[in-house]
Amino acid sequence: MKNKNEFLRKLGYELRLLNEKERTEHLSFYKERFNDALINGTSEKDVIEQLEDPKLIAKNIYDIYGIDDRHAQSTSSGSNNLMQIIGLIVFDVLFISWALPVAISVPLSTLLACFTFPFIVLDFAGMSSIQILLNVAFSVGAYVLLFLGSLFFLNLGIKFLNYVIDIHQKVFFPNSKKFDIKINLFKLLKLDKINWKFLVIVSLVIVIFTPILAFLPTKDVVTKPNESFVETFSYEEDLDINIQLINTPVIFKSDNVSEIKVKVESIGINHIIIRKKGNTISIYDDQLRKKKFGFSNWGINPLTMNDFNFINENYDVKITIIVPKEQPIDTLSIENVSSSINITNFLGEAITINSVSGDVYLGEVLTNKIEISSVSADIELVSIKNVRHGIEIESVSGDVDIVNVYESDIEIDSVSGDAIYQCDDDSRRAKIEFNSISGTLKTN
């Protein structure tokens, strides 16, 4: 600024938010300052150097009147204000429209996911005590990281929201009081006094090392890779047998033995694991665990895998289960088997078969309930009688042959092939209900 007029013109512009009377009073005050200085022999340039910058003078005056000086500085002429509005609309459409929802919704949704933590107990079936402990440790560490990370990014989202509100307020409501969402989730949840950095480090260590420990063999597991073997178990009442295998035929039969025998016949490599825990014998393929972790609710569950695409073509294993004659088994459960199943002379409470790629044969079994579902090949039931709670067969891609099944209720649903029922004794015929049979339905 070179002279009095230029100084007063700029000061008048900076005081544009005042009404006409107030602005005139302040401009008159500084005009008199210049006039008095000139009478005393001081040049206009020296007076300007003695005075503060017009912006600072306006800020001090706005403070007296309680006006936010930022709004004064951001307000410009009508043409500039129009350009700000147009630019802000373009900014909203191209960036804010998706960035703001993502900044809030993603951390919030992951935070809400932490409430699924109690459901990890659903993955504990068939696990050893050590695996349950590792599962819990891994889940706690993962959920702590998820929870703290969600809070951190949600706080950033709130700061971003405040920034968006502020820039809109400056353009559309320059004279209004600043609006600010003052929320800190760590303080709100009383977590600001916790050493969360240490907690993050501990959680990371747990999440990294528990999967490594999960692969170590435990004492209650029988496994003999790359060889055939026979494992025996003493018979117990209310015994359950759970089987989950890949590319492995299963044969179940009774014989004149005093103990339960599990015979693993292997040509080349086998990854069979046999575990006895309480009254449950679990037989499964360790490749299910080593292929990937079952991050169902952030758990490490080797019994919940269904991806069999990684199996080597030379993988050739057969499992035979032999139980004592006339000694009942409580439940025989077989699922996720991509080969044939053969069950004869079974005596027990129930048979459950699910997700099988090969043929299923049941002969001369005595049980109260049979459930078979999701079979990609044929099913054959022979010489079965008096299944008290019925036989349910569902989702079969092949044929269903039922021969001499007496005094039972049979429900067959969704069969892509033929459904055949043969009975040699009409007085003891089963009651059959057929639904959605794509092939031929034959009964004698």
Q: Which residues of 105-136 are buried (b: 16+ CB within 10 A; e: fewer)?
A: eebeebbeeeeebeebeebbebbbebbeebbb
In this predicted structure, what is the pLDDT of residue 349?
Answer: 92
Higher pLDDT: 79 or 41? It is 41
Instruction: Report long-range pairs for 198-207 (Cβ below 8 Å, ≥24 apart).
Output: 199/144, 199/148, 200/144, 200/145, 200/148, 202/141, 203/140, 203/141, 203/142, 203/144, 203/145, 204/141, 204/145, 205/141, 206/137, 206/138, 206/140, 206/141, 207/138, 207/141, 207/142, 207/145
Domains defined along the chain, listed by start? 4-74 (no CATH), 78-214 (no CATH), 227-443 (2.160.20)
**Any idea which residue has 């014989």 for tokens?**
255
Higher pLDDT: 210 or 385? It is 385
Which of 320, 267, 263, 311 lies closest to 288, judged by CA? 311
Spell out the alpha helix ranges (H) of 252-367: 287-291
The Cα–Cα gap between 63 and 51 comes to: 18
The distance between the two most distant Cα atoms of the chain, rounded to a whole number of Å, is: 134
The Cα–Cα gap between 15 and 7 comes to: 12
CA dist list (Å): 226 to 26, 377, 396: 97, 29, 34
Confidence of residue 290 (pLDDT cuts 50, 70, 90): very low
Name the token pair of 35.
Answer: 């006039």
In this predicted structure, what is the pLDDT of residue 164?
Answer: 84
Q: What would the mean pLDDT of 231-247 be, rounded to a whole number?
A: 84
Q: What would the mean pLDDT of 116-138 be, rounded to a whole number?
A: 66
Half-sphere exposure of 190 (CA within 13 A, CB side): 0
> Which of 63-77, 327-341, 352-366, 382-396 is least confident?
63-77
Confidence of residue 217 (pLDDT cuts 50, 70, 90): low
DSSP assignment string, 358-416: S-EEEES-EEEEEEEEEESS-EEEEEEE--TT-EEEEEESS-EEEEEEES-EEEEEEES
DSSP 239: -
Q: What is the pLDDT of residues 45-72, one digit of tens each?
A: 888 888 888 888 888 888 888 776 655 5
Confidence of residue 226 (pLDDT cuts 50, 70, 90): low
- Give the dihedral of Cα atoms 62, 67, 71, 76; nearest 10 deg: -60
Alpha-carbon Rg for the chain, nearest whole angstrom, is 40
Helix (H, G, I), strand (E, B) or coil at 256: coil
In this predicted structure, what is the pLDDT of residue 381?
Answer: 94
Q: Which residues of 198-212 are buried (b: 16+ CB within 10 A; e: fewer)?
A: ebbeebeebbeebee
Q: What would the mean pLDDT of 125-154 be, rounded to a whole number?
A: 78
> Which of 63-72, 80-89, 297-306, 398-407 is least confident?
297-306
Higher pLDDT: 284 or 78? It is 284
Inform me whether the pLDDT recorded for 33 exceeds 80: yes
State the pairing for strand pair 280-285/272-277: antiparallel
In this predicted structure, what is the pLDDT of residue 174?
Answer: 65
Which of 255, 237, 260, 257 lies closest to 329, judged by CA? 237
Q: What would the mean pLDDT of 305-322 be, rounded to a whole number?
A: 55
- H or E stretch covering 6: helix 4-14
Inform me whether the pLDDT recorded for 121 exceeds 60: no
Inform me whether the pLDDT recorded for 313 exceeds 50: no
The Cα–Cα gap between 410 and 371 comes to: 10
Beta bridge partners, 315, equal none
Number of DSSP helices (H) and strands (E) in the chain, helices first: 11, 20
In this predicted structure, what is the pLDDT of residue 394?
Answer: 93
Q: What would the mean pLDDT of 390-400 be, rounded to a whole number?
A: 94
Q: What is the mean pLDDT of the chain?
A: 79
Inform me whether the pLDDT recorded for 296 exceeds 60: no
Q: What is the pLDDT of residues 100-114, one digit of tens each?
A: 788 888 888 877 777
Which of 200, 214, 73 lies closest to 136, judged by CA? 214
CA dist list (Å): 14 to 29, 34, 68, 137: 15, 19, 13, 63
Inform me whether the pLDDT recorded for 90 exceeds 50: yes
Task: Count CB-CB contacts under 10 A for residue 436.
Answer: 11
Task: Count CB-CB contacts under 10 A for residue 222.
Answer: 17
